[in-house]
Amino acid sequence: VTDSDDTELIACDDDGIEDGFFNFNLSDANNDIVLGLPAGLTISYYETYDDALLEVNNIGTTFTNNTPYSQTIFARVENANNCYGISEVLLTVNQLPNIQTEALTYYCLNTFPLTVPLNAAVINDSPTNYTYNWTSGETTYEVDINQTGTYTVTVTNANGCSKDRTINVEASNIATFENIEVVDATQNNIISVFVSGEGTYQYRLLDENNTVYAPYQDSNVFENVFPGIYTCLLYTSDAADEEDS
């Protein structure tokens, strides 16, 4: 007759590798298994019911499930070799929220105090299935900010498993054109654009018909430029500036 109780050990898959495996401390199940039974009982754990019945291949008290996310093992309860029963112990590994954990964005300083949104970046699921806790105190999926800095949100699913998302917000601003150097009347005409300001910029050339002559590039130098009149278009994450050259 089985007098011991079945139970379950539940863990979040937060050991650094999200693969459905977790190293359980099986002793955490002891109290539930012997609830209502006399004191002094011993409990041993086995992968299969037959092993528990025959008392072979004891797996000890720390065990990593070898079937991802859900596996049943067996606990044998006895006193002086009198078996009180064999209980099932369900090992459950719950998934963490599927979110984008890191992001970099920019806040354009010249737009202050206008705000821009940040969100928790839930992937392939409804945001309503989670709760949120931002370091700034908000508990919504999306928050509005108008300051640079580091923002972190803890996203928690219905199983109580959490994951953090960190967003670095860096400063950006409309650039100031400091100088434009032109080297012409050569086989390789060169335009070099020099700017100052917060942010990372990209550069594009438009011809006198406002047609793209050179698409956006990271370099501030345009080479092999045909003779003509050009507009340099400067782009940062939140603003674009133009100047003729």
pLDDT digits (tens, 9 = 90+) for 144-170: 999 999 999 999 999 999 999 999 999
Write out pLDDT tens, residues 98-156: 999 999 998 988 889 999 999 999 999 999 999 999 999 999 999 999 999 999 999 99
Instruction: Report the sign of the C-alpha dihedral through residues 155, 127, 20, 30, in that order.
Output: positive
What's the first-to-final CA gap in the chain, in angstroms? 93
AA identity, residue 77: V
Mind listing the pLDDT tens digit for each residue in 31-44?
999 998 888 899 99
CA geometry: angle at 184 spanning 181 and 185, to 5°? 160
| Helix or strand run (H / E) with residue 33 | helix 30-33
- Phi, psi of 177, rounded to the nearest 5 degrees: -75, 115
